[in-house]
Amino acid sequence: MSLNYPAPSALAVTAIAQDDVSFAGPPHRHQDAQLIYARSGVVSVSTKSGTWIVPPNRAVWVPPMVEHATRSHGPVEFRAIFVRSDAAGSLPGACGVVEVSPLLRELILRLIELQGRDITDFSRRVCELLLEELTFLPAEPLNLPMPSDKRLRDLCQTLQSDPGMALALVDAASRTGMSRRSFMRHFEHETGMTYGRWRQQARLLAALPALAGGQPVLSVALDCGYQSASAFAATFKRSLGRRPSDYFNNNAKNTAG
């Protein structure tokens, strides 16, 4: 999938809409801030500081000139909103998760319909209201912070690639050449999470694309290192507020065009 980025516009906010079976883009950056949203499917956005994996009721905010890579996990209806840097001054200077409310979805849809048309007072008001409707959520539960220390980062990338891997804290410390105590201290300092909490987060985020693709809950649970579907479902609901079997079904009822 090759994204056709919008031409410069007098509007503060512009949009693109493209659908495909899947896509993965190389690291890049924009002069404008960007809101990355999928009408359906699951999209991940990765920067040097972490990875955000978002279902259709969330979007990722990427400030101007932040290098990021975007990819889908299976079929996706991709939507991206570009906000001119001069209009993004009051918005966060770091990546974050945005709640896609019903109104925000409709504004995104309407803005896409307005692309290529003459600029009017109405289109300007749509842009203004869209910016006002952006509601930023805490980074969790959809962000996976990555450490900058190479030893810890290599370990985390290994665990990301194999979420079902059984690796106790003492074994993880040994892999990095640290004592258990030093590992715990450095890991929490670098990620803001304990090792156990980070592993749980990594497993939940690995589960989202599989669930979105229709894989059985039991299969996803086992692949992500859980001993049973019930244990996985309890952790999933505690962290994300819904059972795995309901998560995407409920979201699908609320997605916009």
Segment 70-91 mean pLDDT: 86
Per-residue model confidence as pLDDT tens digits over 245-257:
877 664 444 433 4
Is a pLDDT exceeding 80 seen at residue 9?
no
Percent of the chain's residues with pLDDT above 90: 46
Segment 15-26 mean pLDDT: 85
Q: Which residues pair with 15 in a beta bridge?
A: 81
**Average pLDDT score over the chain:** 85
Q: What is the pLDDT of residue 253?
A: 42
Instruction: For residue 200, report the phi and psi dihedrals to the nearest 5 degrees.
Output: -65, -45
Q: What is the pLDDT of residue 255?
A: 39
Is a pLDDT exceeding 90 seen at residue 218?
yes
Segment 128-149 mean pLDDT: 80
